[in-house]
Structure 1
Amino acid sequence: MELKSLVEKIKDGYRINAEEALALCNQPLEQLCSAANELRQHFCGNAFDICTIVNGKSGHCSENCKYCAQSAFYKTEVETYPLLPTEEIVAHGKYNDDRGVLRYSIVTSGRALSDAEVDRMCESVRALRKETGIAVCVSFGLLKEEQFAKLVQAGAVRAHNNLETSRRNFPNICTTHSFEDKVAAIQAAQAAGMQVCSGGIMGLGETMEDRIDMVLTARELGVKSIPVNMLNPIPGTPYEHNKKLTVDEMRQIVAIFRFLIPDGAIRLAGGRGLMPDKGRACFQSGANAAISGDMLTTAGITIEQDLTMLAELGYHPALLGDDAE
């Protein structure tokens, strides 16, 4: 494969397949990352979609995802609490809004929020939309279309629901819900009028084929925001002894994802703080979005640190997606 000619084909609208994506692994890393950055620049310019999250409900999760500190199946040190009150969620949103963050997501543990919990979160979303200028995203699990529709009416613009890995590999990660359950929830959110953010975790023991298949599924679903988490092995979980990926492995992953979805937001998410450079090299290898601030159960990187780094790299904060208008 000639890398330069493939880049030009993609610029002209060509969509690579799984075989071509896998072949990119054989390209010299620096050339691959440079080509991915060229695609990022061509399709997205220097816009960078930075978002923050609040852990709106923590722990006691009924699902057995092997990577997760919040699962009730494992003994971890994670803090547990029910839904946060609207006042606390709004205060956190204002804090981020005042610092120039354009997107803010409320994330809750559990398989899915109940109807009563969804109604409470609608109150929080309405308050955020009234008191801030921030775009509100939600990560509430395997909701139904009518529940997503309520959240849209309240002012939420995007739902997050990670596929986590490939369809083939998913049963090795979780058995209390299925890959198909994930897809159904994504389609329900889209049917309700929401954008969707969906990616996965790298370092679960998956192959590069699994990673590529995950992104191809997201592409087929029309997803343009792809979170790329690097596993932070949490003591007490089945994956506590998994080997951490290297910066170069993450650079290769985000570069290949850029080739697969050239006009998307390739978003570094959980685990970025494990990288000595906090993701800087990945932001020069095709990634153009990130979650900033604290993660769900692990410390993240401050908004101020990220904004300084992005300015040094020539980026400017902007929304990427349908709400970018």
Structure 2
Amino acid sequence: MIEKLKQKVFEGGQITREEALALAAAGDKAALYAAAGEIRDRFAGRYFDTCSIVNARSGRCSENCKWCAQSAVFKTHVQEYELIDEESCVELARLNAKYKVNKFSFVTSGRALSDKNIDRLCGYAERIKREMNINLCASMGLLSKEQLRRLKESGITRYHCNLESSPRFFATLCSSHTLEEKIQTIRAAQEVGMEVCSGGIIGMGETMEDRVELALTVRELGVKSIPMNVLNPIPGTPLEGMPPLADDEVLTTVAVFRFINPDAFLRFAGGRVLIAHIEEKAIKAGINSAILGDMLTTVGSKVMEDMEKVQRLGFTIENE
């Protein structure tokens, strides 16, 4: 069955919900992971995409997402500030450009960034584009089309807005906004000519069916950069007591996402510290991109160590 579905993908076919669930239930995990790696190599090659993020606005978020340390609804003791200063932001971008990181992303807390703060960060972006060679992304909440157009005009070419999970499960995790509002933001970004980055978090209590639904939804939206976060339970949030996922469950999820999204960048993101011992296996099972450095409110990975690891595994970090 694994080989048959791999051939279907090779021939240009799309995996269905039922086929994806059958893959997830397959007993021969080694064969599943190897097939997913072959699909990645066929459709995405051996280029490993890298990006880094700056926590440009921290804390004080009005939303009640149960996984998030940035929410003002929960007592998490996260650092709070309105906006990073320009010199600190530009210097961090310069450091990433020096390490040849491909993309640098402005990430801000809150339902949506104000026009005033968008203008300030667009000024930062314009300076970065003048002074160094690095691509720019942004994750600033549920923005309007006009706000997204302003970002694009400043040189920011990709917008990030995670769907997080399936429509069914998302509604149990957050009541202050909907998945449909996120989808509207994604479509607005695409309409102004921006690329989109959108994925989710696994390990929040969702089922494999929820994960498959997420993978199918981002495929339907034409998303080609898919962050795969593993929940890092934050003390003070409602999900602080969630148990960790088994290694095979993480790897199976990666492989199934690869079957469904053969040419996408499946991206290591939050929670990497929890799966550091299986990162190489995850790369072999279909991962081909990563957020490097620190992950907002939790410790990430060291940039040069990541670069050396992916090159040792036979990837290039230069986009040819």
TM-score interval, smaller chain: over 0.9
Find the aligned partners of 1:191 and 1:312 in 2 and give their Cα distance. 39
SS at match of 1:64: coil
Give 2:6's aligned residue.
Answer: 7
Letter in 1 for 2:18: E
Q: Structure 1 residue 220: deviation in Å?
A: 0.8
Find the aligned partners of 1:49 and 1:318 in 2 and give their Cα distance. 8
Give 2:83's aligned residue.
Answer: 83
Q: Structure 1 residue 279: deviation in Å?
A: 1.6
Give 2:286's aligned residue.
Answer: 286
Residue by residue over 1:106-137, the C-alpha shift from the partner in whole angstroms, topping out at 9 and shown as x without a partner, is 10000000111111111011111111111100
- 1:176 is aligned to 2:188: no
CA contact (8 A) 1:201 1:231 kept: yes
SS at match of 1:82: coil
Residue by residue over 1:177-230, the C-alpha shift from the partner in whole angstroms, topping out at 9 and shown as x without a partner, is 001110011011111110000000001111111111111111111101110000
What RMSD in Å do the two structures reach over aligned CA positions?
1.1
SS at match of 1:59: coil
CA contact (8 A) 2:247 2:278 kept: no
Letter in 1 for 2:6: V
Residue by residue over 1:228-279, the C-alpha shift from the partner in whole angstroms, topping out at 9 and shown as x without a partner, is 0000000000000001113322111110000000000011100011124262
CA contact (8 A) 1:272 1:278 kept: no
SS at match of 1:294: strand
Find the aligned partners of 2:97 and 2:166 in 1 and give their Cα distance. 35
CA contact (8 A) 1:86 1:127 kept: no
Letter in 2 for 1:178: T
Letter in 2 for 1:172: T
Could you say if the C-alpha distance between residues 276 and 193 of structure 1 is closer, same or farther in structure 2, counting changes exceeding 3 Å? closer
Residue by residue over 1:6-53, the C-alpha shift from the partner in whole angstroms, topping out at 9 and shown as x without a partner, is 212211110111111011012211110000000001111110011111
- 1:270 is aligned to 2:243: no
Find the aligned partners of 2:281 and 2:76 in 1 and give their Cα distance. 32
How does 1:185-264 map onto structure 2 within 5 Å? 185-264=185-264
How does 1:44-193 map onto structure 2 within 5 Å? 44-193=44-193
- 1:23 is aligned to 2:61: no
* 5+ residue gaps, structure 1: 320-324
Residue by residue over 1:67-104, the C-alpha shift from the partner in whole angstroms, topping out at 9 and shown as x without a partner, is 00010010012111111122211110000110111111
After TM superposition, the score normalised by the length of structure 1 is 0.96
CA contact (8 A) 1:50 1:318 kept: no
Find the aligned partners of 1:39 and 1:300 in 2 and give their Cα distance. 28
After TM superposition, the score normalised by the length of structure 2 is 0.98
Find the aligned partners of 1:17 and 1:163 in 2 and give their Cα distance. 20
Residue by residue over 1:294-318, the C-alpha shift from the partner in whole angstroms, topping out at 9 and shown as x without a partner, is 0000011100110111111111114
CA contact (8 A) 1:161 1:186 kept: yes
Find the aligned partners of 1:306 and 1:115 in 2 and give their Cα distance. 36
Find the aligned partners of 1:144 and 1:106 in 2 and give their Cα distance. 17
Count residues in correspondence: 319
Find the aligned partners of 2:126 and 2:210 in 1 and give their Cα distance. 38
Q: Percent of pairs identical after alignment?
A: 48
SS at match of 2:295: coil
Find the aligned partners of 1:308 and 1:274 in 2 and give their Cα distance. 20
Letter in 2 for 1:264: A
- 1:42 is aligned to 2:42: yes
CA contact (8 A) 1:49 1:289 kept: yes
Could you say if the C-alpha distance between residues 110 and 278 of structure 1 is closer, same or farther in structure 2, counting changes exceeding 3 Å? farther
SS at match of 2:61: coil
Find the aligned partners of 2:270 and 2:279 in 1 and give their Cα distance. 11
Quick check: 214-223 or 64-73, which moved more?
214-223
User: Runs of 4+ in structure 1 displaced over 2 angstroms?
Assistant: none
Find the aligned partners of 1:273 and 1:244 in 2 and give their Cα distance. 12
CA contact (8 A) 1:164 1:201 kept: yes
